[in-house]
Structure 1
């Protein structure tokens, strides 16, 4: 499988962001990619919630989703659209939803981010994703011509039970689109994603936002492709760019055969706390 990874600096103008996604689809196809992976919040990044809300639509009316579906069909390429901010969440909130789109432009799967980023960082950054977004409630995997793809988004990567569920369901590739902060990226991005690949015996493809955005935030970049042994096959560093990586999917069976940890998994009951 040849994967293209779109590392970008999404801004506050949905039309401009949609045009960049369409261009990435065409460039990915020209580079021989089977599937394009894009970051979390590919259609809009705006921490000014009042301003951003004016641009957030229902799924049926979202311009980025419509544009990518049309571009995928025209190019004949699969796209994992990492996520979009969409209306229609519980309690009047938005949803952070990813899509898998096939080479006819059809939506094969949807995933709403389960774990929401509500943190106060030592740098003074404070994030309350749950104030604007409703959490998803179900894990999702989807069959592709290259294997079963398990879906997740950004902060999900800190919760290994999700990836256990996805690998137990047969996922051999794990998508982790993100808009990671710089402080947490420097500390944890590589080690967490390598751990998820090793635990699951699966490839990890993590398309990331990068650089300084129009709304003032900074994201870490370093989009990664990691093999099931935990080796980094691609690290895109900080520049906005389109990267390509060839994934030898035979590595999954090889690694799982060498260290059959998935076969050794056991259900863990209540913890006994000794006095």
Structure 2
């Protein structure tokens, strides 16, 4: 599969990140090199590539601000060494005031960080089996949607729980993104129920490719994530899918298919702004209409 014009090879690196940053970086680097050797031009890693740990104390003992983070520097060097566009799906980086950012980094083949995106939507949920998460207690949410220009077209950045908010994806598509990135660490429970259908929906409703590198399996901190990294075309067709184990998937992306699909079903163009009418008494409205 050769790079030409608007076509390129995308890869997802599926991980099972643990509590040790250095090991996670080594695992990611090994699979990024594997993807590059298989011909990938753009490689995406999952959410929380550098560490996955539930304990707030352990997290803050392990992470650093981006500007002095050795793992960020390592990923920059990895992009230079492999010559790929490296999209680190997210890393935890320390902010002031005992807060962290859940931050995506897009790194060019020269090792320069060209885009940063901090996850907007915080995963604050109580699941039916008693599983509970309060991401907002540790992470500061982002406030800006971000897209970035790759050599082949525009990439819209999202992270995990953002997947459940279609207006973000529509805004990115309306801004020109033809590929939507959705690196994630979906729980086993929510992933089994919703992962495939949500990713395919985001592709279909925006006429975009979706690339979603995932965490998968039983992690060192006890959580279990769903895996099944996916690459999906603008018609909703799954081009590549991972399983439950760490590994690499690849697919060729022909970005000309995005405008073709959007022309076939112009939902972005046909969308209209609207208000919501105030409540009215439906029985009265029916009687008035019949009188």
Deviation at 1:131, TM superposition (A): 0.5
Other-structure match for 1:191: 197
Unaligned segments of structure 1, at least 5 residues: none
User: 2:143 aligns to what SS in structure 1?
Assistant: coil
Asked whether 1:107 is paired with 2:134, we answer no
| The one of 251, 270, 273 aligned to 1:267 | 273
CA distance in 1, matches of 2:192, 2:268: 30
Other-structure match for 2:187: 181
Deviation at 1:21, TM superposition (A): 2.0
Query: Greater shift after overlay, 14-23 or 169-178?
Result: 14-23
CA distance in 2, matches of 1:120, 1:106: 39
Unaligned segments of structure 2, at least 5 residues: 1-7, 282-291
CA distance in 2, matches of 1:265, 1:109: 29
Asked whether 1:160 is paired with 2:166, we answer yes
| The one of 18, 31, 41 aligned to 2:25 | 18
What number of residue pairs does the alignment pair up? Answer: 274
Deviation at 1:243, TM superposition (A): 1.2
| The one of 176, 197, 201 aligned to 1:170 | 176
Asked whether 1:48 is paired with 2:55, we answer yes
CA distance in 2, matches of 1:274, 1:114: 35
Matched-pair contact (CA < 8 Å) for 1:201–1:229: yes
CA distance in 1, matches of 2:68, 2:9: 31
Bigger radius of gyration: 2
User: 1:215 aligns to what SS in structure 2?
Assistant: coil
Residues 257 and 75 from structure 1, CA distance in 2 versus in 1: closer, same or farther, beyond 3 angstroms?
same
CA distance in 1, matches of 2:32, 2:146: 24
When normalised by structure 1's length, the TM-score is 0.97
Other-structure match for 1:95: 101
CA distance in 1, matches of 2:69, 2:204: 36
CA distance in 1, matches of 2:16, 2:133: 19
When normalised by structure 2's length, the TM-score is 0.92
Matched-pair contact (CA < 8 Å) for 1:15–1:63: no
CA distance in 1, matches of 2:99, 2:105: 19
Other-structure match for 1:83: 90
